[in-house]
Amino acid sequence: MKALVAGAGRLGTQIAQVLAAAQNDVTLVDLDEDRIAELEGGLAVRLLVGDACGPAFLEHAGALTTDLLVAATGRDEDNLVISLLAKRRFAVPRVAARVNDAENSWLFGHRWGVDIAVPAATPLISLIEEATGATDTVALLRLSKAGVNVIETAITSLSRAAGRALADIALPAGTVIATVIRDGQPTVPTPEVRLRPGDELLLVSHTATEQEIHAAFQ
């Protein structure tokens, strides 16, 4: 699947990381040049600086061949414009948009090109489940085209993995850690990263169940 994510804030970056970890072709764009520079080298996605509200830039970013577009900026007006362009001008099959202000929810519908309207407080996994059309429950996302699972787990003070380095944790076969989210920011999961209470992990696996991941970390 080819995905285009507009907005490289916390939500947009997490979405891009999860989709990329599931072996999708992902492009992440943002108007903030410094933010894109900050992410370079830490994500397995294509990074572009530009205004996704502009048709020319969206075309440059690959909107004509995109299967999924996620408008995840912090401005509802931008997300609506991006969604409308994606659907009406580029005929993107599936468009998801973040709703930052609940009072604007009524605008996020098919008239503005939005297939999936996602409140800002919606959990990451639920957002991606809706955006990709997946139907699995709990904290488990199955991307049928990629044939892998994305599983989310959180570290608490009682977790057996708290204080341990990633290199010291035995993962189920066929499982890799896509990202560690710490203090609201995704970090590159290098072997020396030591887990802390409050960390959230997103793991990608071809075979492991949520129970097996829980056993490894909790």
* Banded pLDDT at 208 (limits 50, 70, 90): confident
State residue 123's pLDDT score: 54
Winning range, highest mean pLDDT, from 148-152, 186-190, 192-196, 212-216? 192-196
Domain ranges in the chain are 2-132, 147-217
Predicted TM-score (pTM) of the model is 0.64
Alpha helix positions (H), 89-151: 124-132
Specify the fold of 147-217. Alpha-Beta Plaits (3.30.70)
CATH superfamily of 2-132: NAD(P)-binding Rossmann-like Domain (3.40.50.720)
One-letter amino acid of 162: A
- b/e map 66-84, b = 16+ CB within 10 Å: bebbbbbbeebebbbbbbb
**Number of Cβ atoms within 10 Å of the Cβ of 42:** 14
State residue 44's pLDDT score: 83
DSSP state letters, 134-168 = ----TTEEEETTTTEEEEEEE--TT-TTTT-BGGG
More reliable by pLDDT, 130 or 102: 102
State residue 113's pLDDT score: 94
* Banded pLDDT at 197 (limits 50, 70, 90): very high
